[in-house]
Amino acid sequence: MDTKNADIVNQYFEHFNNHDWEKMAEMYTETAEFKDPSLGQGIVTQTREQIVQKYSELSEVFPNLNDKVLQVYPSGEKHVIVEFVSSGTAPDGSEFELPICTIFTIENGKIMKDFTYYDNFEE
């Protein structure tokens, strides 16, 4: 099985955990499609600049934000499914762990779709 796309995803999480948002955003096509509860309902198109802005703001709120990859499932020629746990500490000192599943669609070495699923609970 071709592991090139799985390698791309592993590199993505390395950039994420280093909070290197510029390098992470460069892994996407110029504009990419997202499904993410934090962006609203349905499919939302984001530019690389918007990706950097979103994650820069997120890391200001959760400075120790980290994703622990549990499993990577390559699926066909273009898709990689990743199961991971995102964790961090909120400004009030409370800690969180959030199980997440993302389906990445990759073409020509770039992420073109990032469909992320998690329980977007409100307290």
Residue pLDDT, tens place only, 15-25: 999 999 999 99
Asked whether 30 and 48 are in contact (CB, 8 A), the reply is: yes
Residue 121: pLDDT over 70: no
CATH 3.10.450.50 fits 4-117, yes or no: yes
What mean pLDDT do residues 50-72 have? 96
Q: Is 58 exposed, middle or buried (0-12, 13-18, 19+ CB in 10 A)?
A: middle
Instruction: Summarize pLDDT for 37-56 with one digit per residue, the tens.
Output: 888 889 999 999 999 999 99
* Confidence at residue 119, expressed as pLDDT on a 0 to 100 scale: 83
> Is residue 88 within 8 Å of residue 57, measured between CB atoms?
no
Domain limits, the chain = 4-117
